[in-house]
Every structure is written in C-alpha cells, then in structure tokens.
Amino acid sequence: MYIRKFLFFICFCLLIVVASGCTIGESASEKIYDHLEKTVSLEAGFAEVQEPLIEAEQKEQQLFNEMLGLSMKEIDQIRKMADEAAGLADSREELINKEKESIEAAYEEFKSVNSLVDELDEEPLKKQADTLVKTMKQRYESYNELNKVYVEALNMDRELYEMMKKEDLAIEDLKSFTEELNKKYEEVLESQDTFNNLTDRYNDEKKAFYKEAGFSTSEEKKS
C-alpha cells in the first residue's frame, strides 16, 4: 500500500514538471535561448512603427516641397500646410517613443543573458555567447545615438515649419537653416547605418550561437 502511494506521488510530481514546461533543470544554453527568443518578441514594437514612421516622413517632405512652390501671397495656405506638417512631426515623435520603449524592454530582457554566460560548460559556446553579448551592447548604444540625433532633427523640422509661417521670412535664413537641417539628417543616416550593421552582425552571431548549441532559429521554425 505504501509503495503504491509512493509511486503515485512520483508520477504526480512528474506531471507537475511536464505541465510547467519542464523549466526545472534547464541548461544555461537553454535559458539563454529562452531570453534571446523573448528579446525578439519584445522588439516587435520596433518593427511595427517603421512603416508608419516612413509614411509620415514622406508626407512631411511632400508638404514642405509644396510650401516652397507657393508665394507669400498664399501665406494662409502655407501656414495651414506648415501646421499639418508639424502634426505629422508630433506623430513621428510618438512613434519614436514607442520604438525606444520596445528597444529598451528588449535590452532589459537580453541583459539576463549576461549572468548565464559563465555557466556555459563548452568553451566555444561560451566564447560565442560572450561575443553576442558585446555586440548587443554596442547595438543598444548605437540605437541610443540614433534616437538622439533623430529627435534633434525632428525638433529642427518643427522649427522649420514655424519659420515657414512668417510673412517676413528671408530666403537666406531659410536656406541657411535647411542646410543645417540636411547636415543633421546626414548624421541620422550615418547613425542608422551603424545600427543596421550591428543588427546584421548580432543576428549572424545569434545564428552561430544557436548552431553551436544545437538550437533552431525562429526563421527555421516558421519554415
């Protein structure tokens, strides 16, 4: 009778482990895998804002070009369009904030990997994970720089739209300001290239880590 109860207790415990997703006894590499996959999910918000962000940028550019084609006799129309462009800039700021929240949440999740790297037994796997951590840190820092210069450019756009509403706006002042604004957007493009390159490198290193650890990537699971 006692033996049967003991066996029943063991089976019951095994069922609990299975039901909880078998998290008990996970290896360090499996825990890292879980954090990396969750990081991908948390960055979904970053991807979601890209299309509406580009759309808002294109509409603003179109409005600005149209404003340049109008004369000061049409100042009321210019002001109306400038206000519309400023509204789009506000929309971009909201999207950028969502983008930043997504990146920060993903990086907070990723930082859980740091303490697990030393728990890896195999040296090649440990080395690959360490490289991954360093690249992700660089990527996060590059995003912060990108976000900083983009917000600076966005605020300059707002200043530009206010300038366009002035009846006594001097052409030289407009030319000088747009030149500075173009330089700022060149900084944005440079920062964007750095971030994109580091993103590509991180993805390649993550695939290498998965391969070394014997895991499949998210893309392989979908196929």
pLDDT, residue 25, reads 59
The CATH number corresponding to 27-222 among 3.40.50.2000, 3.40.190.10, 1.20.120.570, 3.30.460.10 equals 1.20.120.570
23-35: pLDDT as tens digits: 445 899 999 999 9
| Per-residue pLDDT at 14 | 37
Using pLDDT thresholds of 50, 70 and 90, give the confidence band for residue 218.
low
Q: Is the model's pLDDT at 3 over the cut of 60?
A: no
What is the CB-side half-sphere exposure of residue 1 using CA atoms within 13 A?
A: 0
Q: How far is CA 71 from CA 59, 75, 77, 78, 192, in A?
A: 20, 7, 10, 9, 36
Every domain of the chain and the residues it spans: 27-222
81-90 residue pLDDT tens: 999 999 999 9
Q: What is the mean pLDDT of residues 190-212?
A: 97
Task: Answer whether residue 6 shows pLDDT above 80.
Answer: no
**Tell me: the pLDDT tens digits for 121-177?**
899 999 999 999 999 999 999 999 999 999 999 999 999 999 999 999 999 999 999
Q: What is the pLDDT of residue 217?
A: 62
Query: How would you label 189-209 residue by residue, b for 16+ Cβ within 10 Å and e otherwise?
Result: eebbebbeebbebbeebbeeb
